[in-house]
Structure formats: C-alpha cells, structure tokens
Amino acid sequence: MSLALHPTSKAFKANARAALKNETLQRAMGHLGFAQKRLEAVGRLPEFEALRDQARDIKNHTLQHLDFYLEHYEEKLRQSGGEVHWCRTPEEARQAILSICRSVGARTITKGKTMVAEEIALNPFLEANGVAPVETDLGEYIIQLRDEPPSHIIAPAIHVTKEQVADTFLEKHAAYGKTKLLSEPREMLEEARGILREKFLGADVGLTGANFLIAETGSSIIVTNEGNGDLTQLLPRVHIVLATPEKMVPTLEDVSTILRLLARSATGQEFSVYTTVSTGPKRPQDIDGPEQYHVVILDNGRTAMLGTAFQDMLRCIRCSACLNHCPVYNAIGGHAYGWVYPGPMGSVLTPGLIGVDQAGALPNASTFCGKCESVCPMKIPLPGMMRHWREREYEQRLSPPAQRWGLAAWAFAAKRPRLYRLLTGLAARVLGLWGRRHGNMHNLPLAGGWTQFRDFPAPEGKTFHQLWSERGQR
C-alpha cells in the first residue's frame, strides 16, 4: 500500500477519528520512548544548543548556494566514477531507477530505508516492471510483508505490535519453512535476519537513501542501526543512491557537526551504530564495493520552496524529533496524515509537495504548542510555517465555509468595540444565568465541538469591562 499513490490527507479528520478508536494502534503507540531518551542524550552534551545554531547556519548557507554545491558535488562524484541522474518528478526518478536495473538485467533489488522511495511509490512500480524489491531495514521489512506504508520516518513499523509481527512472520515465512509462532522479539529478529541474508547475497542492485550528500568529496552518507545499509550497498554489483537536493552539505566537517545532533535528536543515541560514507564505485585497490554507483537526485517541488516562506523546511534532516514530541502525532500515529511524511514536519512539507488543496488539514491539526520547534535540531520554525499554510488556504478560500463565516462574524464585531461590548455583555449575562446552577453548560448551540467532550464553564455574569466601569474608572 502506497500513500503516495493513494493519498488520504483530505480525509485527515476521519483518519484521526479512526486511529483514536483503533485499540491495537493505541497499544503500539504507547511504547514510543524516544522523547525521554533524547532528553537524556541532550543533557549529556553541554554544547547541544550551540550545535543547533551551527547546524542551522550550515544548512542556511548551503540552501543559499545550493546550485553551486550541487554542481560541485556532481563534478566530484564523476571524478570518482559515479553518475548523477537529475530528476524533476517522481516519474522521472522511477524511470531512471528502472533503466539502471534493466541495463544490468536485475531481477531483485535490496533496499535500505528511504522515505524518498515512498514518495515516488517505487516498490509497486518495480514490482509491476518485473523487479522484486526487498526491504532490508527490519521495520521496513515488516511493513513490506504486511503491505502497509511506514507510519514514522525512522521507525516505520511503530504502529505494529509485537504480536502482529509474530502473526505476519508465521504467515509469510512459511514459504521459507519457518512454521513456528514466535513470541520473543529476539527470535523474530533472528528469523528475519536469516531470510534477509540470502536476499542480500542474491540481489543484483542495492538501493539506499542518503542522509547527506557532501559537495566537497562527492560522497553520500547513510546512518543506520542494523548494518543493513552496508550490506545493501556493498554486496550487489550496482549501488543506487536515491536522494533529494536539500540533503546537500558543503564539507565533511559540516556533516560531522550535524551528525552530532542527528542521532541524539532521533533516538537519543550519541551516534547511530553505522555511519556509512560512500564515494563512487569500487576502485581497483578496494576489497569490495559495487561496480556501478548511481545517484538519483529527485527534486519533486523542493527547489520551488527556495526563496519562499517555506525555505526553512529544506533544512530538515528527518530525525523525527518533531514527530516523537508531538502530542497530535502521538495520539493518532502516522497513517492518519494520509501521505508519506507525518507529524509536524509532514504537516509543513506535504502541502508543499502535493498542494495545500490536498493537504490543508495537516497544518490545521496543530495546537501551535511549539514543542516541535523547541526540539528541532535544525531550529525549523514549524508552527510558523503551518500558519503560513493556513494563510495560503485562507487566501485561496479552501478553508471550510462554516469556519470562514464564523471568523468573519467574529472579526466584524471585534473591529467595533461598542458592538462587541454589547454582544459580550449580553452573552455573559445569558450564559451566566443559564450555567448558574451547575457552573457550566453541558450543551451549547454552535459549540458542539466543545461540548461533545467538555462542559463549557459558565461566565460570571458580567464582563470585566462592565464591572470596571461600574466601579468608576480609576
């Protein structure tokens, strides 16, 4: 199931409602412990805040000179024998990957974790064209077996319970002669590892994402905890890196600054277990490595965000801190957002990539509590940019009519203090009398959204301004 092919962001509200009622999902989401681990990791690094400023500045500089760094990157990569494929659209990226696969007669392709592949719905496309994709990240492997999209950008199967994984393995691993229902995560890991080992060895092409592209050296970097990325990119004859232009950083020095933030912000680790740098195909003196090295760089609307109110979003390093700390994400999980990227970063990025007409609900589904911005290692002003999307939505008259009329009525009164005082004086009196017996109201016309779950506290009966003028203005 691909959310890129079947976006449901327009149905966000219904999705969220269903997610809140989904007991299995709620049980699975209850284990998200990344926020606490991040807090502890940050506490152990006194220069964490200073690093955030540095990282923000590095990315701002890079984005300001992105054309220069992209060209420099391509030149360096060519020198080491790699090839860059520039793609504007998902279709161009899919075709570029398929033609590389076809040029070597590939039947299977192993994949490291990449959200960009989700964005271009790569798996169903490859399957339809006779190339079998095999996800090698354990979480991605689980959801591939279950035919589900990822619900988190670094923990794609966070919505799946241990018991569900056991059932899935029992059903899908029977083909490999594994017929025991497992109960321990360790056993499940071992079983998946055994099966994946064969896939690694048999793959013709290995595809990974990129956490960073480094202009100085023409390298790409992936960080993983399972080592699957290394096996994916080293064993097959061809390595394809699927990246996007904003992954660029100028130098190795710069990337080491940002790497100090990435794992701490994501999982609370000091560093990911594997940080793998790749620079072109195998050289004569190398012991191993691919014969061919391709980098597919997909734009898909990103460079159009440069120079707009949304440019800061391109600093994102996909750490997931904003998801992990978001009370809305934690309540409903990732699938409810209806497209590839969930949580606060998704609520800003998705309207930029598929349009605010499709994804307008996402930037509205925030209390602007500001927690995401406060933990973002790249200091991206996420709530501010969600507000910018609301402005676009309002300008294009996309927000719901009831909301627009309500707002217009409020604004009409708010701009006329004497009328406003008359109305609020009346409201305070009527509601005050109505709610006097209980101190609150169980139902309130036009406020069903409130009183569905909460009582509405009764006003005291007179407004402050009435009482203030009665006391004689001091």
Q: What separation in angstroms does the CA of 392 have from each of 9, 339, 428?
A: 17, 20, 35
Strands 108-111 and 205-208: parallel
Closest to another protein by CB, 187 or 460: 460
Is 428 an interacting residue with respect to another protein (CB under 8 A)?
yes
Among 368, 405, 433, 443, binds another protein (CB under 8 A): 368
Backbone angles phi, psi at 385, to 5 degrees: -75, -30
Is 470 an interacting residue with respect to another protein (CB under 8 A)?
no
Q: Please, what is the minimum distance in Å from the beta carbon of residue 441 to another protein?
A: 9
Q: Please, what is the minimum distance in Å from the beta carbon of residue 404 to another protein?
A: 9
Which among 62-70, 144-152, 204-212, 413-421 is the span making contact with another protein, rule CB under 8 A? 413-421
**Torsion angle in degrees (nearest 10) through CA of 62, 66, 69, 72:** 180
Tokens, residue 208: 């990974």
Amino acid identity, position 328: V
Among 1, 201, 407, 422, binds another protein (CB under 8 A): 407
Is 464 an interacting residue with respect to another protein (CB under 8 A)?
yes
Is 151 an interacting residue with respect to another protein (CB under 8 A)?
no
Is 83 an interacting residue with respect to another protein (CB under 8 A)?
no
Closest to another protein by CB, 311 or 440: 440
Closest to another protein by CB, 64 or 443: 443
The answer to whether 383 and 42 have CB atoms below 8 angstroms apart is no
Closest to another protein by CB, 307 or 370: 370
Is 452 an interacting residue with respect to another protein (CB under 8 A)?
yes
Burial of 294 (0-12, 13-18, 19+ CB in 10 A): buried
CA distance 413 to 421: 9
Q: Please, what is the minimum distance in Å from the beta carbon of residue 322 to another protein?
A: 14
Closest to another protein by CB, 72 or 388: 388
CA distance 436 to 444: 14
Among 132, 170, 306, 369, binds another protein (CB under 8 A): 369
CA angle 140, 143, 146 (to 5 degrees): 155
Name residues contacting another protein, limited to 214-253 (CB under 8 A): none
Q: What separation in angstroms does the CA of 20 have from each of 333, 343, 397?
A: 9, 15, 29
Is 393 an interacting residue with respect to another protein (CB under 8 A)?
yes
Q: Please, what is the minimum distance in Å from the beta carbon of residue 434 to another protein?
A: 12
Burial of 97 (0-12, 13-18, 19+ CB in 10 A): buried
Backbone angles phi, psi at 84, to 5 degrees: -100, 135
* Nearest Cα residue to 328 out of 381, 386, 369: 369
> Helix, strand, or coil here: 165?
helix
CA distance 86 to 298: 6
First-to-last alpha carbon distance for the chain, in angstroms, is: 68
Among 49, 286, 370, 443, binds another protein (CB under 8 A): 370
Name residues contacting another protein, limited to 286-345 (CB under 8 A): 327-328, 331-332
Is 172 an interacting residue with respect to another protein (CB under 8 A)?
no
Is 405 an interacting residue with respect to another protein (CB under 8 A)?
no
Among 1, 5, 6, 13, binds another protein (CB under 8 A): 13
Q: Which residues bind another protein (CB under 8 A)?
A: 13, 16-17, 20, 327-328, 331-332, 364-371, 373-374, 384, 387, 389-395, 399, 403, 407-408, 410-411, 414-415, 417, 420, 424, 427-428, 436-440, 442, 447, 449-450, 452-460, 462-465, 467-469, 473-474
